[in-house]
Structure formats: structure tokens, C-alpha cells
């Protein structure tokens, strides 16, 4: 079942009712505004509500409650709405039909398997999500992991929202960092051979550099002593890149495209970008350097794009890369960066605008840091000194599912305190356990059903009108919200909403599980089959939500 976004349909119905009321003379003539229909915080106010009558008081020169009553008097109700009421001071409340809500399980379980899909991308719009994009100079760190999980979750949601999505990694295989990598490995290679070589402070310090050097010795002995730094850089870059891919795959992140920064130099795109900016009047020379006139776009000062020694700053290849994105015709591009990009990301988009494109199709998402906490104390880390917890180590300790959940458990604007002790706790205090245990409980019901030798499809023709318990209906109402959540995430790029939704869904499920028994001998057979259908639905909903978060849906824990 593809969830209908009822707030849009109700908005259209309210606008039509206003027009009908005007035609009947019940409301005066005025321009009909967009109508916002939302879910009220208090369920006692209904399932949906609008305050449009309050907004119309001035143009209509009428009391808001009178306007609301006129709208209700002319509205054509869709079949899923049971009642519509106008209440003081001028709200219009909508309540779902109980019979329609009770029939929801059959629509969720329909063979099309469309539950949790919306049509924002209309099946043809193209989106690109760029995330991680770490230099291939070391293991994946926790900050890059957070960006990756945010990006991959958005990738999954945008696909479910009808977009053709490309998950992309901008592979920084050019520049000073790669040179430093090669020099670091060569020094460790020479040291492991007992030859004099000094590891400078600016070099990479981690044990993984020593491991690379040992591997080179195992394969080549001392045959590489006279080889240039580039040889060591190329070897290390390839090895580290492969390790990064394998590590990210452990938490379910697999990229469609690895875009090499070096390719922008090989094709001449970097210098074409510079010349195009120059032709458009945005480049000038000063002190031997090439400057980009970013002040023309509101920047506080112009920025160097090519230094006096002829080497581009990071801005120029980044602009060239985004020019390439614009030319590939994406309707939506989501760039996911760490907090250190807050100043530079806008300058790259200024480059896109200077090249003749609107930058409105680019949504830049900056996420905050991840703090590891163990025993109530923060774990200290330093990437440069090689003192950091890698993603591989974290997967080994807490598992992929905990990583996926905790990385989107807060808004990207907020730091994440990743509690290692909580992440492995097998109790309801751990939100990962709490959510996945809902799926486990559903699976357990069907396992016991099968063990009793009862038919698998016994609930197909169940009388769903017997689902009258308020716990059951509350869960179904929350399940229906998945479409709204998907639309919100796809339009705001805020995947933490999915983590919040999953937790709220579990919070409604567990009391229903405790109170709405299905296998007990005192449950009448018709009700047993209806509830079996309910739990089959709950299992499908949790499986879908966990899939969207990139997490597993276990049958046992």
C-alpha cells in the first residue's frame, strides 16, 4: 500500500469547500490561500486539523468559528474521514473513520509492497547524495561514519520517495595529503628495514601506516628502497581505499559512484572551470595568485583559487566537481559534510552560481561531531596522532545496527554522544533493542503459530472490525504516519525523524503486545485471527522502517 498523504488531500478538500461556500454565498469573495493541514499534538483534537479559518478572519470579515462552520458545511469528505467538526476559536478537526482504520492492515499487506513510499520524485527526478568523501589516507573515523549513515539513510528514503538516487563518494586522490601519505609509508618502510628515516610531525602517525610498510616488505623485501614517494602513495591509497569500502559495507553503505578528484585534473576540468569563471568576469590576479570574486555573492572577502606557485586551493576542484554535478542534471543534490565545512561550502556554491547555474538544487547538510562515551566518560581521540576508534573497531564492539541507529538518533545540528555501554545493553533502555524487539515479538507469535501446526494464511480473511482495542488502533494510526514522515525527510533532509518515528512506533506497539493477546486459550477464534492479522501488519511495518534505516529486522535476539 502506498500511503496517501492525507494532509495534501484534505488541504485540497478544504480549498474546494471554501470555493463552494463562496459560490453559495455562505462566505464572501476573497482569494483562497494555501491550506495547511497538520496532525494535532493532542489526539483528542482529531487525527488532522487546520487553523485556516483563523487566517481568513480578516479577509472574510467574519468570526473564525463561523468561517470554520461554513467550510465544514460544504466539504466533501474522503472515505477515510469519519467526522469533521468546527471548534472554537476556529479550528477544523478531522477524525479518521474507525472502519477505514480497521481495514488498514489489508492495505499495508497488499502484494504491491508499496507501504512507506511516496511520489515526490515522480519516478523520474534524479537525486545525488554525496557523503563520507574521506581522503584515502586512513581508516574511516566516527565523524565520517556519521555523515555516511545520514547520507545512506537519505538515499534509502529518497528512493522510497520516488527519486532515481545516486549515492556518491568524492574520492580525494589528489593533493598534498596523498603526498604526505606516501612519505609516511616510505619512512615506516625504511624504519622497518632498519634504515635511518625520521617520521616528521606532519606525517601520518597511526599503526596502520606501519602495517602497510610491513605488507610492502613481505611482498617486496628491500627492493623498493630507491623507489620514489609516488610508488608508496599509490600503494597506500589503493589499499586504504579498498579497506574503506569494505568497512563501510559492514554497516550497509555501498556507493554507486566513486568520483575521483584526480579525474578533474586528467580531463582538464579544473582549468576549464578557472577559464570559464575568468570569461564570466569572476577571476582576477593579485600578488601572483588567482582570486575568485566571491564578494559579488555576499562573501566578506574574495578567495584564492590558485596560489602564486600555480597550485589550486581546494576550492577550485570542488567548484569543478559541482559544475559536473550541475551538468549531470540532478534535480536534487545533497552534500553531507562535517562541521569544518561551514565556511567553505557556501563558497563552492557561489562558484556554481558564477558558472550560470542556480544553486537551489544543492542542499548542504553539515553534521556535528560524534563523542564516544564509555563508563560515563568521553573517550579521547586524535586523528593526526593515530589515537582514534575506527569504524571497524566500533562494528566489532557494538554491531552495525547500533551504529546506524545512534548516528541518526539526533538532528545533524546536534553532537551525538555515542554511549558504548548502552549500545550493547539488552534491555528497553537501549532504543535499538527496544525497536528491534518489537519485530522479534511479532516473529515469535508466528513461530508459535507454526509450531502449533496452524495454517500460515489463516488470517487472510479475518474480520478486521474486531480490532477495537485502543492500543491496536493507536498503533495503526502511527503506522499510517510513515508516509508523512517520509515526505518530511525527503523535503527537509532530516533523517533523525525516522529514528524518532521508529522509537514512537515501538512505544505504541509494546503496550499493545502486552494487552492484546492472540495465542491465549481464552481469546475467541475470530478475534484471534483479526489480531494475528494485526501482528502480521506490525511485523511488516517494523521490517520496512528498519530497512529504511539500514538496520536488520531480527526474528530472535
Q: Is residue 290 part of a domain?
A: no
Let me know whether 478 and 455 are in one domain: yes
User: Are 143 and 242 within one domain?
Assistant: yes
Number of domains in the chain: 3
Q: What 3-state class would DSSP assign to 292?
A: strand
User: What is the distance between the alpha carbons of residues 462 and 524, in angstroms, rounded to a whole number?
Assistant: 12
N-to-C CA span, the chain: 29
Q: Please tell me whether residues 237 and 135 are part of one structural domain.
A: yes
Q: What is the dihedral of CA 232, 234, 236, 242, to 10 degrees?
A: -160
Distant-in-sequence, close-in-space partners of 288: CB < 8 Å, separation ≥ 6: 308
Residue 517 near residue 523 (C-beta atoms within 8 A):
yes
Query: What pLDDT, on a 0 to 100 scale, did the predictor assign at position 138?
Result: 86
Compute the distance between CA of residue 467 and CA of residue 523 in angstroms, rounded to an integer: 13
Residue 289 lies in a domain: no
Domain interval for residue 495: 427-548
Task: Confirm whether 525 is domain-assigned.
Answer: yes
* Maximum alpha-carbon separation in the chain: 96
CATH label of the domain that carries residue 69: 3.30.1360.70
Q: How far apart are CA 537 and CA 82, in angstroms?
A: 22
Nearest to 43 by CA among 474, 508, 500: 474
Same domain, 372 and 237: yes
Query: How do residues 358-371 score in pLDDT, each as one tens digit?
Result: 999 999 999 999 99
In a domain, 294, yes or no: no
Q: What does the alpha-carbon distance between residue 11 and residue 14 come to, in Å, rounded to a whole number?
A: 5
List, in order, residues 6 or more apart from 403 with CB less than 8 Å away: 145, 149, 251, 391, 394, 395
Task: Quote the DSSP letter at residue 344.
Answer: H
Q: From 130, 143, 549, select the one nearest 367 (Cα to Cα).
A: 143
User: Is the link from the previous residue into 89 a cis peptide, with omega within 30 of 0?
Assistant: yes
- pLDDT for the residue numbered 269: 97
Backbone angles phi, psi at 178, to 5 degrees: -70, -40
- In angstroms, the CA 17 to CA 94 distance is 14
Return the closest-CA partner of residue 130 out of 142, 148, 114: 148
Q: What pTM was computed for the model? A: 0.92
pLDDT for res 1: 39
- Pair (489, 406) in one structural domain: no
Q: Which of 370, 366, 380 is nearest to 334 (CA)?
A: 366
pLDDT at 41: 86
Residue in the block written with cell 548542504: 364
52: which DSSP letter? H
Confidence at residue 98, expressed as pLDDT on a 0 to 100 scale: 96
Asked if residue 307 is part of any domain, the answer here is no
Q: Are residues 475 and 523 in the same domain?
A: yes
Residue 278, C-beta contacts closer than 8 angstroms, at least 6 positions apart: none
Q: What is the CATH number of the domain that holds 376?
A: 3.40.50.620
236 and 88 together in one domain: no
Residue 311: inside a domain: no
Instruction: Give a yes or no: residue 179 inside a domain.
Output: yes
pLDDT digits (tens, 9 = 90+) for 317-342: 999 999 999 999 999 999 999 988 88
Alpha helices (H) in 408-552, listed in sequence order: 420-423, 431-451, 470-480, 482-492, 496-515, 525-548
Q: What is the pLDDT of residue 2?
A: 43
DSSP SS3 for 554: coil
Instruction: Say if strands 48-50 and 37-38 run parallel, antiparallel, or are unpaired.
Output: antiparallel
How far, CA to CA in Å, does 257 sit from each of 82, 171, 242, 319, 471? 49, 10, 14, 18, 45
CATH number where 510 lies: 1.10.730.10
**388 and 501 inside one domain:** no
pLDDT at position 387: 55
pLDDT < 70: residue spans in the chain: 1-4, 381-388
Do 90 and 168 belong to one domain? no
pLDDT of residue 214: 96
Amino acid at each position: 500500500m502506498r500511503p496517501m498523504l492525507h494532509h495534501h488531500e484534505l488541504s485540497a478538500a478544504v480549498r474546494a469547500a471554501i470555493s463552494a461556500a463562496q459560490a453559495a454565498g455562505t462566505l464572501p469573495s476573497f482569494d483562497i490561500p494555501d491550506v495547511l493541514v497538520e496532525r494535532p499534538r493532542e489526539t483528542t483534537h482529531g487525527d488532522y486539523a487546520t487553523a485556516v479559518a483563523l487566517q481568513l478572519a480578516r479577509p472574510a470579515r467574519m468570526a473564525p468559528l463561523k468561517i470554520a462552520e461554513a467550510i465544514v458545511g460544504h466539504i466533501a469528505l474522503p472515505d477515510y474521514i469519519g467526522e469533521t467538526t468546527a471548534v472554537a476559536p476556529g479550528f477544523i478537526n478531522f477524525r479518521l473513520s474507525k472502519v477505514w482504520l480497521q481495514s488498514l492492515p489489508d492495505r499495508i499487506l497488499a502484494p504491491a509492497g508499496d507501504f512507506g513510499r511516496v511520489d515526490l520524485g515522480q519516478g523520474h527526478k534524479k537525486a545525488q547524495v554525496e557523503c563520507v568523501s574521506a581522503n584515502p589516507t586512513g581508516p574511516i573515523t566516527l565523524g565520517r561514519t556519521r555523515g555516511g549513515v545520514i547520507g545512506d539513510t537519505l538515499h534509502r528514503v529518497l528512493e522510497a520517495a520516488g527519486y532515481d538516487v545516486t549515492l556518491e563518494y568524492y574520492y580525494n586522490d589528489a593533493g598534498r595529503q596523498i603526498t604526505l601519505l606516501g612519505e609516511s609509508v616510505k619512512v615506516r618502510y625504511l624504519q622497518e628495514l632498519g634504515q635511518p628515516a625520521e617520521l616528521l610531525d606532519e606525517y601520518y602517525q597511526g599503526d596502520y601506516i606501519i602495517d602497510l610498510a610491513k605488507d610492502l616488505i613481505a611482498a617486496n623485501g628491500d627492493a623498493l628502497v630507491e623507489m620514489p614517494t609516488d610508488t608508496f602513495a599509490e600503494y597506500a591509497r589503493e589499499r586504504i581505499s579498498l579497506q574503506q569500502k569494505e568497512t563501510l559495507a559492514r554497516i550497509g553503505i555501498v556507493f554507486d559512484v566513486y568520483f575521483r578528484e584526480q579525474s578533474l585534473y586528467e580531463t582538464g576540468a579544473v582549468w576549464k572551470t578557472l577559464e570559464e569563471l575568468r570569461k564570466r568576469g569572476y577571476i582576477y590576479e593579485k600578488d601572483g595568485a588567482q582570486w575568485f570574486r566571491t564578494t559579488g555573492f555576499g562573501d566578506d572577502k574574495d578567495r584564492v583559487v590558485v596560489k602564486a606557485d600555480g597550485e589550486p586551493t581546494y576550492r577550485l576542484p570542488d567548484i569543478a566537481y559541482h559544475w559536473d554535478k550541475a551538468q549531470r542534471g540532478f534535480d536534487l543534490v545533497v552534500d553531507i559534510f562535517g562541521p569544518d565545512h561551514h565556511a567553505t561550502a557556501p563558497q563552492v556554491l557561489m562558484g556554481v552560481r558564477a558558472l550560470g547555474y542556480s544553486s537551489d538544487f544543492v542542499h548542504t547538510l553539515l553534521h556535528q561531531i560524534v563523542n564516544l562515551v564509555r563508563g560515563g566518560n568521553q573517550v579521547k581521540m586524535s586523528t593526526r596522532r593515530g589515537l582514534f576508534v575506527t569504524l571497524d573497531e566500533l562494528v566489532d564492539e557494538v554491531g552495525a545496527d547500533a551504529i546506524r541507529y545512534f548516528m541518526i538518533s539526533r538532528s545533524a545540528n546536534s553532537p551525538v554522544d555515542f554511549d558504548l555501554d548502552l549500545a550493547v545493553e539488552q534491555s528497553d533502555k537501549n532504543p535499538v533493542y527496544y525497536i528491534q524487539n518489537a519485530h522479534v515479538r511479532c516473529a515469535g507469535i508466528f513461530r508459535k503459530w507454526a509450531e502449533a501446526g496452524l495454517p500460515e494464511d489463516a488470517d487472510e480473511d479475518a474480520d478486521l472490525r474486531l480490532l477495537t482495542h485502543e492500543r491496536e488502533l493507536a498503533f495503526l494510526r502511527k503506522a499510517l504516519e510513515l508516509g508523512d514522515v517520509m515526505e518530511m525527510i525527503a523535503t527537509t533532509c532530516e533523517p533523525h525523524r525516522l529514528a524518532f518515528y521508529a522509537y514512537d512506533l515501538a512505544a505504541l506497539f509494546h503496550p499493545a503486545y502486552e494487552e492484546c493477546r492472540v495465542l491465549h486459550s481464552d481469546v475467541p477464534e475470530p478475534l484471534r485471527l483479526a489480531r494475528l492479522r494485526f501482528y502480521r501488519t506490525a511485523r511488516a511495518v517494523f521490517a520496512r522502517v528498519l530497512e529504511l534505516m539500514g538496520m536488520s529486522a531480527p526474528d530472535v535476539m
